[in-house]
């Protein structure tokens, strides 16, 4: 078996397509009109109720039970780009998690939660650049040294 994609419900395929292509630089893979696939595996579906055969009123907006997670090499530059979208509704300020990764969360045009965080490899490299040992980084991030090495070698 092969995992193929995550499909999210959108009200207007064109608005959502522009949002994901312009803000995140996602590349279109397939376009079926009211359903599109990006090369990353994300799919947008207008008329989701029709697709999954449920009443339109059962398609929830802002269910708050999932998020789409993105990582970036330069969170500060992304935050500047995000300012170009004045209608973005944030779920609070930029935070730094206990493991050291800075993230921001906000809603897409259809109320799906999006998280954009620093690339985890960069978090490890940042800690190492301050003079921390791999053992100290392992403790700080609560991650095994083996997993830290996987991050660094990817």
CATH number of the structural domain spanning residue 1: 3.10.180.10
Confidence of residue 21 (pLDDT cuts 50, 70, 90): very high
8 Å CB contact between 75 and 104: yes
8 Å CB contact between 64 and 110: no
End-to-end alpha carbon distance in the chain: 25
Alpha-carbon gap, residue 44 to 39, rounded angstroms = 12
- What's the domain range around 126? 122-153
- Count the domains in the chain: 2
Final residue belonging to a domain, choices 59, 76, 109? 59
Final residue belonging to a domain, choices 37, 59, 81? 59
Beta bridge partners of 138: none
Q: Is residue 91 part of a domain?
A: no
Q: Is residue 50 part of a domain?
A: yes
Q: Is residue 144 part of a domain?
A: yes
Q: Is residue 38 part of a domain?
A: yes
8 Å CB contact between 111 and 61: yes
- DSSP code of residue 79: H
Q: Is residue 87 part of a domain?
A: no
Q: And the tokens for 45?
A: 């579906």
Confidence of residue 100 (pLDDT cuts 50, 70, 90): very high
Final residue belonging to a domain, choices 14, 41, 59? 59
Alpha-carbon gap, residue 102 to 96, rounded angstroms = 4
Give me the pLDDT at residue 45, please: 93
pTM: 0.88
Q: Is residue 107 part of a domain?
A: no
Q: Is residue 18 part of a domain?
A: yes
Does 124 score more than 90 pLDDT? yes
Q: Is residue 145 part of a domain?
A: yes
Give me the pLDDT at residue 62, please: 82
Tell me the pLDDT tens digit for each residue of 28-84. Answer: 999 999 999 999 999 999 988 887 788 888 777 788 889 999 999 999 999 999 999
């Amino acid at each position: 078996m092969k995992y193929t994609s995550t499909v999210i419900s959108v009200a207007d395929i064109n608005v959502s397509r522009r949002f994901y292509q312009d803000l995140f630089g996602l590349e279109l893979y397939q376009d079926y009109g009211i359903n599109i696939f990006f090369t990353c595996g994300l799919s947008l579906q207008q008329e989701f109720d029709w697709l999954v055969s449920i009443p339109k009123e059962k398609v929830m907006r802002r269910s708050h039970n999932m998020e789409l997670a993105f990582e970036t090499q330069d969170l500060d530059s992304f935050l500047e780009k995000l300012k170009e979208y004045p209608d973005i509704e944030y779920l609070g300020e930029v935070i730094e998690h206990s493991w050291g990764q800075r993230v921001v969360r906000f809603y897409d045009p259809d109320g799906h939660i999006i998280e954009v965080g620093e690339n985890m490899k960069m978090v490890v490299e940042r800690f190492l650049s301050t003079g921390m040992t791999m053992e100290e980084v392992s403790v700080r991030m609560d991650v095994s040294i083996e997993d830290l090495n996987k991050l660094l070698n990817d």
